Amino acid sequence: MSNTARAEAQPIIIKKKKVVHGDGHHGGAWKVAYADFVTAMMAFFLLMWLLNATTEQQRKGIADYFNPSIPISRVSGGGTDGLNGSSMFTEQTYANMGTGATQNRKVGSAGAENSPENNDESVTASLQQLTENLQESEGKLTEHLMVKLSPEGIILELVDSEDTPLFPLGTSQPSTLLNDLLTAVSDTFDLFDNNIKIVGHTDGTKFKRSESYNNWDLSVDRANTARRMLESKGISAGRLREVSGKADTEPLIPNDPLAPQNRRISLVILTN
């Protein structure tokens, strides 16, 4: 038989190969479920750790943060502040601190009122009351008052401005504005017994003849002027612990040494 006939007699076999993809282990959905399970376990162990590491009071505070349990009265207690209550600056509080009410009391009396914390609060409240009173009576004066805190105590800044200066430029003669400010301040200082420090400041403007008189002399002269004015308004000289001048070394606005706000008188109410 020829080769051609032999090839025609052989059967033709067709193999079909089945390929199974498996969809990546069911498309990876198990990974999402596993991640959720791990996250839940981490949250559970974190919760257990917090329960073991915190006190009952701390846990109650955390619970109150997410579910506040502070009752709010539906009936007003007559106040205008939060929870329909009265302000902390009530008649009794003012009477204790000497910052208002019908009877003045000095800071430094016997008992808990003599603590440094209450002392600072009473002085701050007095100065806040001063600014509020000035806003109601003469709002222009409040533009020249600034209250700051320092390690020594509370600083009441009497700040200059371009239009209404505390002193004429280059002199230590007081203006009407300074007299009005010190009058208001002296009335407030009568409410407590804290000692006072007076510091004069100038701007960066230099004198033409700085060898005979400069900003150091000017700042000291202005501080002394403020001292004499306070004493004339009834402030005891025994309460004045320091009268000094810093020239232009401590500007209120460091980026602008010539700013009028740098010309000021600092009255430090010593609470430390």
Q: What is the pTM of this model?
A: 0.55
177 vs 186: CA distance, rounded Å:
14
Query: In the chain, where do the E strands start and end?
Result: 145-149, 153-159, 196-201, 240-245, 264-270
Asked if 97 and 81 count as a contact pair (C-beta separation under 8 A), the reply is no
| Sheet with 240-245: strands ordered across | 145-149, 153-159, 264-270, 196-201, 240-245
Choose between 201 and 88: higher pLDDT.
201
User: Tens of pLDDT along 100-158?
Assistant: 444 444 444 333 344 555 566 777 776 776 666 665 555 577 788 888 888 888 888 99
User: Tens of pLDDT along 8-51?
Assistant: 666 777 777 666 655 555 567 788 888 889 999 999 888 888 78
Choose between 22 and 210: higher pLDDT.
210
* Portion of the chain with pLDDT greater than 90, in percent: 31
Asked if 188 and 261 count as a contact pair (C-beta separation under 8 A), the reply is no
Asked if 218 and 245 count as a contact pair (C-beta separation under 8 A), the reply is yes
Residue 195 burial (C-beta neighbours within 10 Å; 0-12, 13-18, 19+): middle
